[in-house]
Structure 1
Amino acid sequence: MSREPVYAALTGLVRAITAVQGLRITYRGTENIPRRGGVVLAVNHTGYLDFMQVGLVARQGKRRVRYMMKKELERNPVVGFLMRHCKAIGVDRAAGAESYAAAVQALRDGELVCVYPEATISRSFELKAFKSGAARMALEAGVPIVPVAIWGSQRIMTKDMPKALGRHNFPVHIAVGQTVPPHGTPDELTTALRSGLESALGVAQQGYEHPAGARWVPARLGGSAPTLDEAAVIEADEKARRAKG
């Protein structure tokens, strides 16, 4: 890999934060990350800080991640500097075609591009409905998709829960699923991706202690997190409030 001092410094910072928090990270399936060539890294989304674990799992495969981030963040002098020097892809929701084209070009250039198929954090901690962007990018660039499931990071910082940013020694399980080749229509590939990510999530949850009634545990596993349907109602209400200003 070519030298990228800013990216290297950020990676060092993430590793330091992980050590201070006492996170106990377990990796499974990292051999499924191609060591070279364009790859769509499709990740489940349960917390605000799971992007840190995405960077660490890519590092296991000796790769760097190119994140897709809100373009308006570029206006912040610090974040803008980091985005430029870490080759982040700015996403403008009002002009999505431009950011989509930039992501496809990055994939063609052999980069590993991180995509959250659910688009937003899942309050239920179950997989929400998938957008087709990851599949369309993979098909257009002719690159595979690698599903990655991160489990446990929702305990640190997520929606509707108190933050736990100090030293807590939480376990975090990361499972890298089997490569999904770029075949079929966008809908067919999205279905295949979802199946792969569901399998990876099952692996990540194996051996993880889920206390009954815990807020960060899905209802399906005995926790008190909202179900998918309940979470959808919360999100619809939230969207309506934002629309009213």
Structure 2
Amino acid sequence: MIFSAQAHTVTSVEIKGIEALGFVFSGSSMPVDDFLNTHFPNLDLFAAVKSIDTILSPATSATKYKRIILEDNPLKVEIQFFSEDYGNEDTGLVLVRTFTLDSAGPVVSHEFFRLPRMARRKGISKKILTALFQQYVNMGVKKILVFAALEDGGYVWATQYFMAVDPMEVEKILARAQVELPQAQYILAKRVFDNYYAKNIGGQAFPMYKWAELSFMEPILRKSAWHGAVDLTNPVEFSNFVSNAIG
């Protein structure tokens, strides 16, 4: 799939459309359209939240809450969509996406995403990611951040080519593998670890997908917790992410 950047200017009419979907704005006293056009240019917020609402609303019959938080210091746009029972691991629904700015440009954090168990493995996650990724490209997002900690998340994010940024977290996963795997399998997992860190001491882009390619590492990764990132300014990471996470 090919993504091309598209320019967009937010209008007050679009803001009313967002509110008509049930989203509530809070935070900055600056008019919403001015805030977005000034600080997060080319973000088509109406298209983004309309996609979220269309895709996620059928996944739960519980009462839904929709919020958009705008902050001036530090600059932030946070989209929240969650069900009344969001804390329930079986029935809860929650999505949080946060856009911030660092010295290099826009960054998006996939703060939290949980689907009701009955709605999982139906392609919903990919639909959301595809819809929002167009906005990332429009805005020139430099990096996508994730904390892989929810059920199965450590494995899923690995298959989507997120790189592990914290060597200590990677070491903990390897230590668990040493305890739980037969020696021959552990040696293969350690070889991936050694090959990367021998060339990248303290490296912050461990290729977790290489562990995910080892079938015996899947249960280890499903129980893991790690911080990951995709550097969208890196052509290889960009291409791998689009091919494997979006297709």
Do they fold alike, i.e. is TM over 0.5? no
Structure whose alpha-carbon radius of gyration is higher: 2
Query: What TM-score does the superposition give when structure 2 sets the normalisation length?
Result: 0.26
**Higher strand content, 1 or 2:** 2
Instruction: Specify which structure has the bigger relative contact order, considering alpha-carbon pairs within 8 angstroms and separated by 6 or more residues.
Output: 1
Q: TM-score, normalised by structure 1?
A: 0.26
